[in-house]
Amino acid sequence: MLTDHYELTMISAARSHPEAARPCVFEVFARRLPDGRRYGVVGGTGRLLDSLADFRFGDDELAAVSGFLDDDTVAWLADYRFSGDIDGYREGELYFPGSPVLTVRAPFADAVVLETLVLSILNHDSAIASAAARMVSAAGSRPIIEMGSRRTHEKAAVASARAAYLAGVTATSNLEAARSYGVPSAGTAAHAFTLLFTDGSGQRELDAFRAQVERLGTGTTLLVDTYDITRGVANAIEAAGTELGAVRIDSGDLGILARQVRDQLDSLGARGTKIVVSGDLDEYAIASLRAEPVDLYGVGTSLVTGSGAPTAGMVYKLVEVDGIPVAKRSSRKESHGGAKAAARVARPTGTVTEEVLYRSGDPTPTVDDHTVTPLQVPLVRDGEPVADLPSLHSARDHLRDALVTLPWEGLGLSHGEPAIPTRYAF
């Protein structure tokens, strides 16, 4: 039922004519990147393939749709199993305007019913992965922990943590993402824990810190801004000693406070204690803290919500019917007909210069003195995922390597054109 009403009404109408069984090609692509973005990151491919295996209509689902569908279509849904082919960019690959990140080949009815499933997963995960990649680039060698679970839907939180890890984030606070996908988890305590330690005599921050250190060890991270940061740092070192793992600052002017806290920690002999900052950080805030003594960032709201991770804007369009190219001509929603393949062109130094789209089945174009690498890989054959698909960890490694190939200006956070142009070679 992870689909839209009109997917099924289209199938019903098409099945009254021979058109429903005609071989079709659908492509997933973004007409443009979100404003200010220079590249996108393909995320969610692994989740999509897992979901495809479970995309079935059981008795409960059939009962829910039988009120508006004819009996013949309901019977067809009862037997539905995707049996077509899917090719696409591997997870962790970069994409640009027009990139055919996914190609679905199947009879019309078999393929069109997947539209919402495909787009809901790829648009969400690609948006998160693209935003996280920018944050990781801004952070440089400093780690980032994803902690956005409390700012989004409970299931979206798990997918967000997975996509963020794909993009290079070090760990997540979300335990389901750790269990389901092997993403490292991290976390210590919130302000509520410190506030718990109070009585008629007033605040007992030191007691809270001692309790945390007693249970979690001196390598823990103590949250020092519940009351007064200067006093909080002093209490943290008194409770844990100079071997304290880290202190966290979650509010205020993080740059100024990080400097003050670093000076205070050093003066107390805690030179190895790290500083963690959090509090609605995005890539711009992270970049602004580059010169400050910050060791680790915690990101949440700006990563998992639309303000920081605008939709990838991917669409699922029919581009070929029985080998005949078809294309939409609506203003600002134009599409290029015909099934396409894609390749990325790079100089001998490894820096990419353009993405080339060409007719599927044609030879890969050549460019003098450049390396041309095809981008699409087989994902599904006859309805079954192909063997040896890349893991989440290998996708993470692939993205890291792919980002190194972009021109320097393509990694900028300022507004500008896509990092490389897309050329249609047909």
Residues 60-95: tens digit of each pLDDT: 999 999 999 999 999 999 999 999 999 999 999 999
Judged against a pLDDT cut of 90, whether residue 389 lies above it is answered with: no
Cβ–Cβ under 8 Å, residues 172 and 145: yes
Strands 144-146 and 171-172: parallel
Same domain, 126 and 149: no
Q: Indicate the Cα dihedral angle 396, 400, 406, 408, nearest 10°.
A: 140
Query: What is the distance between the alpha carbons of residues 339 and 324, in angstroms, rounded to a whole number?
Result: 9
Same domain, 280 and 222: yes
Same domain, 56 and 200: no
Cβ–Cβ under 8 Å, residues 355 and 30: no
**Pick from 276, 305, 334: which residue ends a domain?**
305
State the CB neighbour count (10 A cutoff) for residue 105: 18
Residue 296 belongs to domain spanning = 139-305
Helix boundaries (H) for 107-220: 108-112, 115-139, 154-166, 175-181, 191-196, 205-216
Same domain, 193 and 324: no
**Pick from 275, 290, 305: which residue ends a domain?**
305
Query: What is the distance between the alpha carbons of residues 187 and 164, in angstroms, rounded to a whole number?
Result: 16
**Pick from 305, 335, 364: which residue ends a domain?**
305
- The predicted structure's pLDDT at residue 307: 77
Cβ–Cβ under 8 Å, residues 410 and 89: no
Same domain, 327 and 366: yes
* CATH number of the domain bearing residue 187: 3.20.20.70
Residue whose structure tokens are 């640009």: 96
What total of structural domains would you count in the chain?
2
- In a 10 Å sphere around its CB, with 0-12 CB exposed, 13-18 middle and 19+ buried, how is residue 280 labelled? middle
- In a 10 Å sphere around its CB, with 0-12 CB exposed, 13-18 middle and 19+ buried, how is residue 101 labelled? buried
Kindly state the tokens that stand for 288: 């602004």
Same domain, 145 and 278: yes
- The predicted structure's pLDDT at residue 203: 87
Residues 91-137: tens digit of each pLDDT: 999 999 999 999 999 999 999 999 999 999 999 999 999 999 999 99
Task: Say which DSSP state 364 is in.
Answer: P
Kindly state the tokens that stand for 282: 């995005």
Written as one string, the DSSP assignment of 254-278 is HHHHHHHHHHHHHHTT-TT-EEEEE
Kindly state the tokens that stand for 290: 């580059």
Same domain, 114 and 12: yes
Query: What is the distance between the alpha carbons of residues 64 and 15, in angstroms, rounded to a whole number?
Result: 20
Q: What is the pTM of this model?
A: 0.95
Kindly state the tokens that stand for 306: 């639309």
- The predicted structure's pLDDT at residue 330: 74
pLDDT level of residue 29 (50, 70, 90 thresholds): very high
At residue 353, what are phi and psi to the nearest 5 degrees?
-120, -25
Same domain, 176 and 301: yes
Q: State the Rg of the chain over Cα.
A: 25
Same domain, 96 and 220: no
Same domain, 391 and 252: no
* CATH number of the domain bearing residue 357: 3.20.140.10
Q: Indicate the Cα dihedral angle 102, 107, 108, 112, nearest 10°.
A: -40
State the CB neighbour count (10 A cutoff) for residue 84: 19
Lowest mean pLDDT, pick from 37-41, 144-148, 328-332, 419-423: 328-332
Cβ–Cβ under 8 Å, residues 269 and 238: no
Judged against a pLDDT cut of 90, whether residue 306 lies above it is answered with: no
Closest to 184 (Cα-Cα) out of 169, 202, 200, 203? 169
Residues 149-196: tens digit of each pLDDT: 999 999 999 999 999 999 999 999 999 999 999 999 999 999 999 999
Same domain, 168 and 86: no
Same domain, 62 and 111: yes
Contacts of 294 (CB under 8 A, 6+ apart): 142, 254, 258, 275, 276, 277
Closest to 104 (Cα-Cα) out of 322, 412, 317? 317
